[in-house]
Every structure is written in C-alpha cells, then in structure tokens.
Structure 1
Amino acid sequence: MQPNVKLYIDGKPAAARGMFEVVNPATAEPFAQCPSADLQMLDTAVAAARKAFPAWAAKDIEDRATLVEQIGDALEARKEEFTKLLSSEQGKPVHSGAVGEIMGALAWLRATAKLRPAVDVIKDDDVSYVEVRRKPLGVVASITPWNHPVMIAIWHVIPALIAGNTVVIKPSSMTPLTTLLLAELANEILPAGVVNSVAGEGGLGQAISSHPGIDKIVFTGSTPTGRHIMESAAANLKRLTLELGGNDAAIVLADADVDAIAPKIFAKTFGNSGQTCAALKRLYVHDSIHDALADRLAQMAKDAKMGPGDNPESQYGPIQNKSQFDFVVELADDARSQGAQFLAGGKADDGAGYFYPLTVVTQVTDGMRLVDEEQFGPILPIIRYHDVEDVLARANDNPNGLGGSIWSSDIDTATALAARMETGTAWVNDHATISPDAPFGGAKQSGIGVEFGHYGLEEYMQLQTIRIAK
C-alpha cells in the first residue's frame, strides 16, 4: 500500500513539487512514492519556523514539554504502522530491529522531555549578582540519515523543541517516509510552524547548510558531508552539532573470558546489520585467545538468520541501499585479494535485495582498507596483536574517534586503557551502549558537539550572562 505521507509547512500539508521513488532494500524495488520540495519551499519552511519562533520560545517550558509528551503518545498509538513502514524503507526486521527502534525512540522522547536547562549563579555578594541562563537559538535544521530514521529524528528534534527552538527537518531520501510521518504527528499537536518538513534532493541539503534564516544545523552522517555542511554554515556562523563517521576499535585483552564476551561483541558488531555509527568495527584480539574468539564469532554469524523484514524468523535485514552494499563488497574483495581468511560469510547471495551475510574476517591488519575504512555493514575484521601498548597506538591511529572499547576481566586495567582511547566515548566490557542521560559525540573527525542529556540540550541553547549591579 502506498503510504500517504506529506510535507508540512506552517502547520499545513504543502503541495509537493514532484515525487521520487523509495526502494525496499529487501527487494531492491521501489515500493512507495515520496513528495519532494524545491528551494522555494525550503525558503517558505524557514520563514514559517522564524515566524513561529518568538511565541514558541516564550511558552513556558512545562507547556512545551507537555506538547512534546503528546507527540510521544501519538507515536505510541501508531507504533505498528511506524514499525511496518520503517521495516519497508530501511530493511530492519519488523519484530526486532524496527519495533526496537520505535520503542527506543519513545523512551528517548520521554526522557528528553524531562530535561530542564540550568540557571547558574556565579556571584551574589554586596557588589553584584551574576547568573548564566540558557536561551533558545532560533531555527534549527535537522538533516537525518538512513540507518535509524525515526530514532535519530527524535534525537535531533525533541531537544530542539524543549529548548524553545523551531525546526525544519530534511530526512534522507533513502528513508524519508517514517521521518515525514513523525513530522505529521508533530503538526497535529504543535502550533503552526514549529516543525516543518521538506524532502528530496535538488540541492536542498546545500541550501539548508548556507541558508541565512537557519541558526543551527544538527546532522548525523558521513564525515565528508559534515565537512561540506561546516563550510557552507560559516556564512552566518551557524551553530553545529555533527555526529559523523566512526571506525570504532575494540581491544580484547589476554585475560578476557571468551564465553562471556563473545555474544555481546557479536551483538554490538552486527546490530542493524552493522549499519550503526557506533558499532564495533575493528576487533583487536590478543594472540592467546584470537582463534577461540574468532571461531566463536564465526559460528554465531553462520547461525544467524538473515531475511526480509516482514519474515518473523529474520534476525538481520539487508544493507539499506545499493551504494553501501557495493562498498561492503568492494572492501571484502580487497581484503580477499590480500590474503584475508573469511571464517563466515564473504559472498552475497544471487537473490533479490541488498543482502550481504554476516561476515567474519581474519588474517587482516592495519593498512588494509577493511580495517582502515568504516565499512558500515555486516563485516567484521579481527586483527591479531601481541603487545598492549602497540595495539592501543594502532587503535588510536585513525582519523575517526567516535567510540572504542576494552574487554578484560581486570576492570581497573581496562578502565585505565579505555581512558587513553582517543574517542568521544570509551566502554569497558561493552560497546555502542548509549542512553538519553549521558553525552554522546565524536573526537577528531567523528564530529563536533554532543547529543543527549543536559550536555546535549545545551547544544541547542545560547549562554547569556546576566550581571546586576547592587
């Protein structure tokens, strides 16, 4: 069935300038049409957001939070519709990944709705009173990716609204439907112009980046695109939150319990078929336990059930689009040509869709593309090492710095090593776990700024110092 999604500008459905196809990655065939916007519609959307900003910013934060909670209630009431549509456009299985994303988005929305900006009293003496307040920025533009189109839209939009900003959102053209449906729900609840949605290509992303009426951009996606956004945003010194690429390294120490860590490493690597920014992407394992852990992970990969999202038995879905599928194939072929050993997977089936099997690769090392580049797919390189200091240097020798982890039975040693990783987040005996109360963001070329919790809320606000002479 063709989903009836619309673009919303100034509280009303906007007449589309055209339509574009949305492909189901499980079949590699279009299954829906999505309305597209042009640059004039973007200007109209930004103008609507600017018009709505003063009243929304002036509204008591408790009232804003109540309306945001109502968006959550509306999403929960239609969660089955969202889950099925998400699976169709993104590929993740309905009964695991898709429902998990929708329920996670709900939990995140409700946690974020409870955040309140602080007022810091710096001085209160006989001479003066000084405090620091947080004020909304204005119009926030959200550009979302194709791997978690509902969850990341919630990450972007909800703190912007709680902070008192208005929003223009542009979803990925690969997975626009659920994000636009979320914007529609918001427009049924919020005042006109508070959330506006546009979709399509034709230079929309570039126009958003350089638009003088936009005060901040929050973007999740690739590092090259993040660089372009940063360049274009310089014209009016837009505030930026950029969550960019990661090539997360995990280091397994010699004393690690293989039986205990293998299932968690597997889950943190292959969740969403490896299409997660903070997924474990390079696994360094001490020589003494390398073979045992590699064999265990390979067997788990062979036992995994991959298939279309609407099949109740499917645990893992396809790669979301052909370009990413081709890139994973390219990395695998390059590793194979250099003598890599494929313990599981390594060759796509000839059937329909962008399915690539869960793949475990050994006999690889730094300097090979599969190790040095972010694969963003269901293929894990396992690198053998001997010396801890050497492997820590190798793990850090990468332009990305989103996350990293240490796995060991010695918590103190692991924690000390984790603190030396050049990453925005470092885990011990875990990886890729995030929560709405703790900041998450990248070091080096993995991004600028953080999301989540009070630290993330402040990214959507301007500090203002108030000084009162007594």
Structure 2
Amino acid sequence: MNTFSYIINGVHKTSNEIIEVNNPATGELIGKYYASTIEDVEEAIATAKSQQKIWGKLSQEERDQFILQIADAIGSNKSYLAEWITKEQGKPLNGPGAQFEMDACIGWTQVPASLQLSDEIVFEDNTRKDVLKRLPVGVVAAITPWNRPLMIAIWQIIPSIKMGNTVVIKPSEYTTIASLELFRIINDILPAGVLNVVTGDGKIGAHLTAHQDISKIMFTGSIATGRRIIEASTKNMARLTLECGGNDAGIVLPGTDMHQIAEGLFWGSFLNMGQTCAALKRLYVHEDDLDATVEALTTVTKNIKMGNGIEEDVFLSPLQNQMQYDKVNALLEQTKNNSNAKIIIPNPEIPTQGYFIPITLVTGVDHGDAIVDEEQFGPVLPIITYTTLEEAIRKANELEVGLGASVWGTDEHTLDSVAQQMEAGTVWINQHGAIHPFVPFGGVKQSGYGVEFGIEGLKAVTLPKIISYKK
C-alpha cells in the first residue's frame, strides 16, 4: 500500500509521521500519507518566496502556457483522480459527483488562462496620465476543505500562479491523498517551487497562515476557522479571500408547482450530500404549499440510490468523516426534542456501514431551532413555512450568513423583487449553487469576504499599482 509524499521545491518529501486514510463508505484502509513538520512549512515558504522572483517576471501569456498544459494533464488523469476522490471523499463517481468535480477542475483551469488582466488608463487629461498595473502579491497560502478537495484547490492555485504568485498549499487532513496526486501532476509541469505542498492538521495551517512571508491567504472552510485566519493575518497583514460557508436560504413563491421545481430543489440541497458551502440549507415555502413540497421531494428521493460511490448506479453517498456524521446526527437528535417537529425520511434504505445518513426532510421547525440556525452540512433539509413573502424574506436574511440564496417561481417581477431583497453574495433564480468560472463568487456577512472566479478573481490575487505620468 502506497504512502504518499508532499512536495517542496519539486522534491517529494517524507517525515516520521504517517497518517492512515479510510474510505468513508466502507471503512477500508485505502492509503497513507506523510505529515509535514513545522520545519517543512518554513522550507516551503522560503522556496516559494525565492521562486516567486523568477516566476513573477514571466508574462501572463507565458504563464498561461504552463496552465494550459496543466489542464491537459488533468484531463489525461481525470478518471484516476476521480476514483481517488470517490474513495477518499466519498462522493459518487458518476452523476454530479467525482467525474463532475474533475470536469470542473479542467474548466476552472482553462478559463483563467483565457483571460487577460491588462494595464488600465484610469485617468488622462492634457496634464497627466495615470495607469493602473496589477502586480503579483507574492506568496499565497492556500487552505483547502474536504468537501470538494480538488476543485477548490484549483480555484486557489490557478489564478494565483497565472498572476505571477507562488503558492504553498495545505490540503484538508481528511482528503489529503487525492489532493497530493493532483499536486504531483501539476508539479510535473510547473518549475520547481511554484507550487509547494505541506500536509497535516490545524497546527500546520496555523503556522503557514501567520508566517511573515505570506502575502495572501485563500481559505474555504468554517466560520470558526475563518476567524482564526483573520487573527493570524494580523501578524503579517496578508490580504484575505475567505469563503466561510453559508446556511443558504431558498424561498418558493406561493402557489408554485412543486413538482416542476422538485429536482432543482433536491440537487440544490443534496448535491454532495449537502456538503457544499453554497447548498440550499433552509427552504421557505408558503404554509398552503407544505404538503405538496414534501410530496414532490419525496418522489425525487425515492428514485435515487444511496451507497458506495464507486458503484455505477449510486448517486448519493456517505458523509466524509466521523466529525461531520456526528454533528448531523446530533442536530437530528436535538430536533426530536421539539414536539412540533416532524422528521421525514423518504428512502430509509442505506448501507449498514460507513458514514451514511438518509436524505431527511424536517418540518414543524423555525428560527430558534438548531436544525435551522446552524449550517447542517449534511443530507438534512428543514422546510419552514411562511404566511407572507415579507415574512419569508425577513427570516431568510435573519441569520448572520450570506453566501448564496435562491428564489423559485414563475412570476418574473416578483422573483426579481425577492432576489433584490435577499442578503447574499449570489442569488439564483429557479436554480441553486450554479457557479460559473467567468462569474465572480463570494459571500457577505459572516460568509466571508473577497471574490473568486473571472476577472475579479484575478484582481484578488494581485496588488494594484499606479504609475502617474506628467505630460
């Protein structure tokens, strides 16, 4: 059985600490990896800082050629990497699962290479001309989560290196092997030291983000960890892009045909078993439409098989780790103490081993219940009733998060009006979670700050500099 190494300055590194990795669907031992030391973090940052002076002198077009080679290499290894995602992260191989994540990796690599962030004349008259240039920020510290380990790593790496930065990346300790294999493929193409990898738990991430030579931190994960990263950045004044989860709200307009939107609601909520930052996690429906909502979602759920994601006909999978499995179960146990709550499990057939929780709908709950107020990050959807749209909008905006949101129905004027009032970085209409590599994405309130993707995402990994010419 392989033990996977991390990479610093193009060299595969080992240590005295070895971590075992198990398949969340079966409990099977699937591999091991070496955990980095604090000394490794120091070496990785020093290497990245030194190499950035060389890499940053290349033009965007020259760096784009490396990036397009990376896209080709990812495509050539798509099936191999997808299988590792399924074995380690748990998501199904097919459907909107691991193969889908790999397609996203390719697309989010190709799109930045197609963009050009050029110098901009921001002011000119007969006395002066002022030109805005975009310079590399320096060394980027990237911290990736376990829910979409390869796709989010690409979101952090590719814009950073395109704009002349170098990267030190720490993958989640829960999904390290698939990440290391992606980084190995990327390192086979890039000059040594442009992408450096360290592994391990939170102490490695903490040392990385607080280091004096880090100029930018990119993080996707929990609000609690995001706050710790903000505190760490006071030591180095690093620029931040933080995506800290959502507990996204969705509002369905009164009288909407639930069967018409049920599949969209289902995958908006339960894609990746709800382990998606921008998943629909609170659904608000008119009190007269509750029964129809439950019926429509139940019909969809009964037709989708849950199991080991490596099986061809499986489209729903386990949660990724014991921690998240316990958290979701604890929220359900709390909910059982609410006499008004009704827990509905449309398809209770699940495997007997692994971190499996069936798709669960919860009615009879409201704000003040933990299942509503806390981000479940699992296959549980609370359905909250309202009497007026004003009430639904107020409740949707009540929590201190705002990554994504959605509104569903047929009246275009009302849909647009509700969307304008919802407090989120992105509001989707008749869809949820539909991100795109050309479209900026980021949260408001405690869901973080800064954006990724498109031209705005490129700007986020640069330093603006004005050159002012006197005429």
TM-score tier after normalising by the smaller chain length: over 0.9
Give the C-alpha shift of residue 384 in structure 1: 1.0
Kindly indicate whether residue 58 of structure 2 is the aligned counterpart of residue 47 of structure 1. Answer: no
Query: 1:261 aligns to what?
Result: 261
SS of corresponding position for 1:113: helix
Query: 2:284 aligns to what?
Result: 284
Contact 2:133 2:467 in 1 (8 A): yes
CA distance in 1, matches of 2:351, 2:131: 65
Letter aligned with residue 10 of structure 1: N
Query: 2:360 aligns to what?
Result: 359
Contact 1:132 1:464 in 2 (8 A): yes
Give the C-alpha shift of residue 75 in structure 1: 1.1
SS of corresponding position for 2:114: coil
SS of corresponding position for 1:94: coil
Query: 1:431 aligns to what?
Result: 432
Compared with structure 1, are the counterparts of its residues 182 and 422 closer, same or farther at alpha carbon in structure 2 (3 Å cutoff)?
Answer: same
Equivalent residue runs for 1:225-304 within 5 Å: 225-304=225-304
Query: 2:80 aligns to what?
Result: 81
Query: 2:168 aligns to what?
Result: 168
SS of corresponding position for 1:95: coil
Contact 2:306 2:350 in 1 (8 A): no
Equivalent residue runs for 1:306-325 within 5 Å: 306-325=306-325
Contact 2:306 2:315 in 1 (8 A): yes
Contact 1:7 1:16 in 2 (8 A): no
**1:198-228 deviations in whole A, cap 9, x for unaligned?**
1012610110121111111100000000000
Equivalent residue runs for 1:68-467 within 5 Å: 68-96=67-95, 97-201=97-201, 203-339=203-339, 340-344=341-345, 351-467=352-468
CA distance in 2, matches of 1:12, 1:235: 29
Letter aligned with residue 149 of structure 1: P
Letter aligned with residue 25 of structure 2: A
Query: 2:60 aligns to what?
Result: 61
**1:424-457 deviations in whole A, cap 9, x for unaligned?**
1111111110000111101000011011001111
State TM-score, norm by structure 2.
0.97
Give the C-alpha shift of residue 95 in structure 1: 2.1
Contact 2:6 2:197 in 1 (8 A): yes
Give the C-alpha shift of residue 303 in structure 1: 2.9
Contact 2:307 2:351 in 1 (8 A): no
Give the C-alpha shift of residue 94 in structure 1: 1.4
Letter aligned with residue 39 of structure 1: I
| Two-structure CA RMSD over aligned residues (Å) | 1.4
CA distance in 2, matches of 1:420, 1:396: 9
**407-416 or 431-440: bigger deviation:** 407-416
CA distance in 1, matches of 2:325, 2:374: 15
Give the C-alpha shift of residue 346 in structure 1: 9.3
**1:66-110 deviations in whole A, cap 9, x for unaligned?**
101111111111111101111000001112301110111111111
**1:177-206 deviations in whole A, cap 9, x for unaligned?**
121111111211111100000101261011
Unaligned runs of 5+ in 1: none
SS of corresponding position for 2:451: coil
CA distance in 2, matches of 1:3, 1:273: 29
Contact 1:411 1:428 in 2 (8 A): no
**223-232 or 403-412: bigger deviation:** 403-412
SS of corresponding position for 1:284: strand
**275-284 or 361-370: bigger deviation:** 361-370
**18-27 or 319-328: bigger deviation:** 18-27
Compared with structure 1, are the counterparts of its residues 345 and 354 closer, same or farther at alpha carbon in structure 2 (3 Å cutoff)?
Answer: farther
SS of corresponding position for 1:37: coil
SS of corresponding position for 2:4: coil
Kindly indicate whether residue 32 of structure 2 is the aligned counterpart of residue 38 of structure 1. Answer: no
CA distance in 2, matches of 1:190, 1:17: 28
SS of corresponding position for 1:160: helix
Letter aligned with residue 43 of structure 1: E
Compared with structure 1, are the counterparts of its residues 131 and 280 closer, same or farther at alpha carbon in structure 2 (3 Å cutoff)?
Answer: same
Letter aligned with residue 44 of structure 2: A
Contact 1:257 1:409 in 2 (8 A): no
Letter aligned with residue 44 of structure 1: E
Compared with structure 1, are the counterparts of its residues 346 and 237 closer, same or farther at alpha carbon in structure 2 (3 Å cutoff)?
Answer: farther
**1:315-360 deviations in whole A, cap 9, x for unaligned?**
1110000110011111111112203112225979572100111111
Letter aligned with residue 92 of structure 1: K
Kindly indicate whether residue 21 of structure 2 is the aligned counterpart of residue 22 of structure 1. Answer: yes
CA distance in 2, matches of 1:155, 1:273: 21
SS of corresponding position for 1:203: helix
Could you tell me the percent identity over the aligned residues?
A: 42
Give the C-alpha shift of residue 247 in structure 1: 0.5
CA distance in 2, matches of 1:411, 1:391: 18
Count of residue pairs the alignment pairs up: 469
Kindly indicate whether residue 22 of structure 2 is the aligned counterpart of residue 11 of structure 1. Answer: no
Give the C-alpha shift of residue 6 in structure 1: 2.2
CA distance in 1, matches of 2:453, 2:16: 35
CA distance in 2, matches of 1:140, 1:151: 17
**1:245-290 deviations in whole A, cap 9, x for unaligned?**
2110101011322221111111111111110000000000012222
Compared with structure 1, are the counterparts of its residues 194 and 95 closer, same or farther at alpha carbon in structure 2 (3 Å cutoff)?
Answer: same
Unaligned runs of 5+ in 2: none
SS of corresponding position for 1:21: strand
SS of corresponding position for 1:150: helix
CA distance in 1, matches of 2:200, 2:347: 34
CA distance in 2, matches of 1:332, 1:430: 27
CA distance in 1, matches of 2:94, 2:260: 26
CA distance in 2, matches of 1:357, 1:267: 14
